[in-house]
Amino acid sequence: MKLTVNENIKELEKNFKQACENETFVKLVKKLKLTKKDALKITSKLEDCVFELEHCQNCRGLANCQNAYNGHIKMPKNENNHVFFTYLPCKYLKERSIEEKLKTAKLEEQFQARMKDIDFSDKKRTKVIKWLDEFFQKFNFKENHKGLYLYGNFGCGKTFLISALLNELKSQKQISCEIVYFPELLRTLKNDWDLYEEKINLYEQVDILCIDDIGAEKVTDWGRDEVLGTILQTRMNQNKTTFFTSNLSLEELESHFKASGSVDDMLKSRRIMERIKQLAIPMELISENKRK
């Protein structure tokens, strides 16, 4: 049955009155500086925005997004008394965008890094640079060469230094090398299980591997034991050179891996740490933040 004009207005007023029971809805109308007459016309659209705002208040990440468009929130804008609706990125999507830009910049830096480009002016880096130079000069397949567990403050050039060494080894000695950003590897495998065997095999068998930013990932039994543990065990058994970069010391990394703090987690964490210690020599690098 078709509603009359008066009936239609009454229905709109009823819906608006019900919507006004929601504090977020009231605040939104007030923020937009809408008259009741104008708000009546777009009540349902404003309610859509309110629902998405409330979803965002309890959201823990993009994987749990309940909005119409993942990582976006429907929001109204009032320009010259004309209300239109647009989709804005949420804080998690913004964080991912920043992270991806940093990752792209980091990958470019890794690809271009050479030992001739290393800055020798910072005396705090001298010990590390000397170690890397000696490693390059002495490296051959006949000996078991331990890698480096290089840890220190954010942005001090840990990844650049290791990348410079590995790029020289690839270029001058035809060594197969890979640098894997560990948090990204876990995300990639989680999103595409078909890649698991291919990726694990690559990182198990490559001549020299650098596991970059270990300790920055969210700890799960699967990531710690099935991914990291599997790679490290194979490389340890085959005496394959392995490097690590981290913002955490070995003691801090062990605490990081304990996750729940249960006895089982403590044992598994200790097992991972023993493999890392077998594969690499710890060395601290505290230097100026090169990214600032």
pTM for the model: 0.66
Q: Could you tell me the two tokens for 49?
A: 């925005």
Mean pLDDT of 243-262: 90
Q: What is the pLDDT of residue 99?
A: 77
Per-residue pLDDT band for 141 (boundaries 50, 70, 90) equals confident
Amino acid code (one letter) for 66:
Q
* Interstrand relation of 82-89 and 72-79 (parallel, antiparallel or unpaired): antiparallel
**Phi, psi (rounded to 5 degrees) for 149:** -100, 95
How large a percentage of the chain has pLDDT more than 70?
A: 93
Residue 251, Cβ neighbours under 10 Å: how many? 10
Q: Could you tell me the two tokens for 115?
A: 């030992």
Please tell me the distance from the alpha carbon of residue 62 to that of residue 190, in angstroms, as a whole number: 14
CATH class of the domain comprising 96-285: alpha beta
Asked if residues 270 and 254 have their Cβ atoms less than 8 Å apart, the reply is: yes
Closest CA to 238 of 271, 275, 281, 270: 275
Q: Where are the beta strands (DSSP E) in 62-173?
A: 72-79, 82-89, 147-152
Please tell me the distance from the alpha carbon of residue 288 to that of residue 158, in angstroms, as a whole number: 11
Residue 256 confidence (pLDDT) above 70: yes
Q: What is the pLDDT of residue 132?
A: 94
Domain ranges of the chain: 5-89, 96-285
Could you tell me which residues come within 8 angstroms of residue 284 by beta carbon, excluding any fewer than 6 positions away?
A: 151, 152, 249
pLDDT digits (tens, 9 = 90+) for 258-275: 877 788 888 999 999 999
Please tell me the distance from the alpha carbon of residue 119 to that of residue 129, in angstroms, as a whole number: 9
pLDDT digits (tens, 9 = 90+) for 18-77: 888 899 899 988 998 888 888 888 889 999 999 989 899 888 888 889 998 899 999 999
Q: Which residues pair with 42 in a beta bridge?
A: none
